[in-house]
Chains A and B, each alone.
Chain A
Amino acid sequence: MASSRDDFIIAIRSAFLKKSTQQKFSLLTLVFFSLFIVVLSSLDFKVIRYSKAVINELVYRSSFIVSVPENLIKDTFIQVKDYTTFFNKYKKNVDELESLKSSYVSNEITEYENRELKELINDYVSSSNKILAKIIVDHDSPFLKSIIINKGSKDNIKIGTNIYDQSYLVGRVIEVNYKTSRVLLLSDLNSNVPVTIAPQNIQAIVTGSGLDNGQIKYIKSGFLDQLVDDSIVYTSGTGAIFKSGVPIGKLQSFGESSVNEYQVEFYSDFSQLKYVFAEIITETEIPQNVTDADNNIEENNPLDAKLKILEDELSIIEESNKKFQKENENLKSEINNLNYKVLNLNNEISSQKRTISQFNLDTEELKFLKLNLEYGHKCRKSLFNNKGFTVGSVGYKNCVLSKGKIDG
């Protein structure tokens, strides 16, 4: 009994401590060394961080080169698979495109309005710039769902940067190196995303299942009954980890039990990703004219900032009112002048009319006198002409004007 125990101890000692001819280190040294590295890697010191970044850069690049043949096989496999379902996919895409085109215009308007409102609320303009990143390592590990992209701190990538496939959320950056970063996919067990489920407007958290879908968590039991198939799941922006309003996937029921159970089917297929977009967000303050130090302090408060905007608006309106009043007065005086001119002109016209009428009368009188000299004797009443008229009467005048013709 004692000898077998001795044998065991000797074998163990030999296994741990004995160095074979080719070995430079004993296994016990390596065990301690690994434990030392495990402890060190959990600490967040600057030196450790930089060393890890250097190791990561080297290993990721090496992994990318080594993975080339396997990726070639993988791509061929996927391409063959795609060709078999090509036509059906094409038909589906055409239908989808048509419906998307119609909703695109209204979306743009909503987006514009949203941006304007956010600017008013936040006191700063948030502009985002999406940069294209290539996936250099995509080893779909059964334990951790993550990818490595070829953009790092050099390209302003930070921990928490949102990663997209087109406009769909894929995950966020959890580790940044100089030219590479690790992205934790939404399907990972450790991924938690605050979401809104539309159209029911239910708030929840989506966690990865470790497979290719997500699970709905932290939802009140009463709301669970309201969920239906194909409800849209998008980020709520709660906690400011993810930007709000980014589509993630849709709900799908599973299982055949009477109780409804739902999982999130992601819009993006994480196993097919080749390129992704990293969103670099920069925040710029809205410039404001500050007159004194007190105003500066007050503006720190968003309510005061709003009041300041309203006051500015009021002063602008008052100024424009004054301008209008002045203009109004000018116009009034101009109208008065014009009225005076019109009056003068009217007077002139009436005097001219009078002159003209006088001229007409004179012309008529002259004509009568001319005809009177010629035909007056025919119209004048005398001994030989008893049909004639008394001079100065209307009949006489008419007779002269009708050149001596007496009616009757």
Chain B
Amino acid sequence: MVSLRTKGSFLKLYGWLPILILYISVLNEFDLNYLNLEYFSFNFPFILIFFFTLKDFKHFDYILVFIAGLFNDTVVGLPLGISSLSYTLICISTAYLRNITIRPNPMKDWFYFLLIISLINSLNYSILTLFFSLDLILMNYLVNTFFTFSFYIVFTSLFKYYLRGLND
């Protein structure tokens, strides 16, 4: 009985793991920047949100994603609401992709992801430079987009293992 209860709470925690990782990543800025590799950076929350909203994961509540965006803005020092808008736009794009897709294809998802993050980063850059007069390096955004796109395939394979574990 006890073991069943323990197993139940473990499963519950396991189910909430992606949203937990999302919050840890926005609070911690998990990006390996201390390696001091010039220009190297990637946006882990983009990968996580894109994958789990695309898979229509039941614990991935949009409002929690929205709040994670606010946290990210606070930690990074961006104007409040910018990351929330970006995350919500990813959710919209995945909802659209889900609606138009009959047979999912990982490669198509991957390139669709590149299109979406490019659009969102462009939008971010435009808002920050035009409306908030911040000086930003465009190259940083391009490199960030490239590495986020590259790491997508690595992380999605890990996430698939996670989903398989959850279904089992």
In contact, B76 and A141 (Cβ under 8 angstroms): yes
User: Per-position contact with B for A15-51: 1 when CB-CB < 8 Å, else 0?
Assistant: 1101011111101001101111111111000000000
B33 proximal to A (CB < 8 A): yes
- Point out which of B75, B127, B141 has the most chain A C-beta atoms below 10 A from its C-beta: B75
Given A30-B88, A35-B85, A210-B140, does the pair A41, B79 have CB atoms closer than 8 Å? yes
Q: Which A residue sits closest to B57, measured CB to CB? A: A22
Q: Which residues of A contact B24 (CB under 8 A)?
A: 66
Q: Which residues of chain B (25-64) have a CB below 8 Å from chain A?
A: 27-31, 33-34, 36, 38-39, 41, 56, 58-59, 61-63
Residues facing A in B55-113 (CB within 8 A) are 56, 58-59, 61-63, 66, 69-71, 74-82, 84-85, 88-89, 91-93, 95-96, 98-100
Please give, as numbers and ranges, the residues of chain A lying within 8 Å of B29 by CB-CB distance: 139, 141
- B4-12, B131-139, B151-159, B160-168 - interface stretch: B131-139
Residues of the B chain whose Cβ atoms lie less than 8 Å from the Cβ of A8: 100
Q: How far is the CA of A398 from the CA of B126 in the complex (A)?
A: 140
Main secondary structure of the interface of B (DSSP, over half): helix
Known: A23-B62, A30-B62, A271-B36. A59 touches B77 (CB 8 A): no
| 4 closest A-B pairs by CB | A37-B81, A139-B29, A38-B81, A15-B95
A residues within 8 A CB of B144? 142
A52 proximity list for chain B (CB < 8 A): 80
Counting CB contacts under 8 A, is A157 at the interface? no
B166 CB to nearest chain A CB (Å): 15
Cross-chain contact of B28 among A20, A24, A36, A139 (Cβ < 8 A): A139
Q: List 13 A-B contacts (CB under 8 A).
A: A15-B92, A22-B59, A30-B66, A31-B92, A34-B81, A40-B80, A66-B27, A70-B30, A142-B33, A143-B136, A144-B134, A175-B77, A210-B137
Separation of A142 and B125 alpha carbons in the complex (Å): 13
- Complex: how many Å from CA A126 to CA B35? 42
Identify the closest chain B residue to A141 (Cβ). Answer: B76
User: Which residues does chain A contribute within 8 Å of B88, judged by CB atoms?
Assistant: 27, 30-31, 34
Cβ of A15 and Cβ of B137 under 8 Å apart?
no
Complex interface: chain B residues within 8 A of A35 (CB) = 81, 85
Query: Which residue in chain B gives the minimum CB-CB distance to A41?
Result: B80
Closest chain B residue to A42 by CB distance? Answer: B79
CA distance A12 to B93 in the complex (A): 9
Decide: A25 and B63 in contact? CB cutoff 8 A.
yes
Given that A27-B62, A30-B84, A34-B84 are contacting pairs, would A70 and B78 also be in contact in the complex, using a CB cutoff of 8 Å?
A: no
Contacts of A18 in B (CB 8 A): 95
| In the complex, number of A-B residue pairs with CB atoms less than 8 Å apart | 156
Q: Given the complex, which residues of A lie within 8 Å of B127, measured CB to CB?
A: 38
- Contact residues of B with A, CB < 8 Å? 23-24, 27-31, 33-34, 36, 38-39, 41, 56, 58-59, 61-63, 66, 69-71, 74-82, 84-85, 88-89, 91-93, 95-96, 98-100, 127, 131-132, 134-137, 140-141, 143-144
Known: A15-B95, A60-B75, A139-B29. 19 other contacts (CB 8 A): A8-B100, A10-B99, A11-B96, A15-B93, A22-B59, A24-B62, A25-B63, A27-B88, A36-B81, A37-B80, A37-B84, A38-B80, A40-B81, A56-B74, A59-B74, A63-B28, A67-B27, A77-B34, A190-B135
Per-residue contact bits, chain A 359-370, to B (CB 8 Å; 1 contact, 0 not): 000000000000
Known contacts A20-B56, A27-B95, A67-B27; A139 and B66 CB within 8 A of each other: no
- A128-160 vs B, CB cutoff 8 Å, 1 = contact: the mask equals 000000000101111110100000000000000
Interface size of A in residues (CB-CB distance below 8 Å): 56
Complex alpha-carbon distance, A70 and B29, angstroms: 10
Query: A175 vs B89: C-alpha distance in the bound complex, in angstroms?
Result: 28
A55 within 8 A of B: yes
A111 to chain B, nearest CB (A): 35
Provide the residues of chain A in CB contact with B59, threshold 8 Å: 22
Taking CB as reference atom, which chain A residue is nearest B25? Answer: A66
Answer whether residue A380 sits at the interface, using C-beta atoms and an 8 A cutoff. no
Which of A42, A142, A143 has most B Cβ within 10 Å? A142
Tell which of B23, B41, B99 has the most Cβ of chain A within 10 Å.
Answer: B99
Of A10, A11, A27, A271, the contact of B91 (CB 8 Å cutoff): A27
Query: Do A137 and B75 contact each other (CB < 8 Å), given the known contacts A16-B92, A24-B61?
Result: yes
- Cβ contacts under 8 Å, B66 to chain A: 25, 30, 33-34
Provide the residues of chain A in CB contact with B89, threshold 8 Å. Answer: 31
Q: A63 touching B27 by the CB < 8 A rule?
A: yes
A305 located at the interface, meaning its Cβ lies under 8 Å from any Cβ of chain B in the complex = no
Determine whether A182 belongs to the interface, using a CB cutoff of 8 Å to chain B.
yes
Q: Which residue, B27, B63, B71, has most C-beta atoms of chain A within 10 A? A: B27
- Contact partner of B85 (CB less than 8 A), chosen from A34, A40, A74, A182, is A34
Cβ distance B35 to chain A, nearest Cβ, rounded Å: 8
In the complex, whether A334 has a CB less than 8 A from a CB of chain B is: no
B146 to chain A minimum Cβ distance, whole angstroms, is 12
Question: Nearest-CB distance from B10 to chain A (Å)?
Answer: 21
Are A25's CB and B81's CB within 8 A? no
Q: Which residues of A contact B36 (CB under 8 A)?
A: 271
Given A34-B69, A144-B78, A146-B77: A139 and B33 interface contact (C-beta under 8 Å): yes
Q: Are A12 and B96 within 8 A (Cβ)?
A: yes
Q: Which of B28, B38, B39, B74 contacts A67 (CB 8 A)?
A: B28
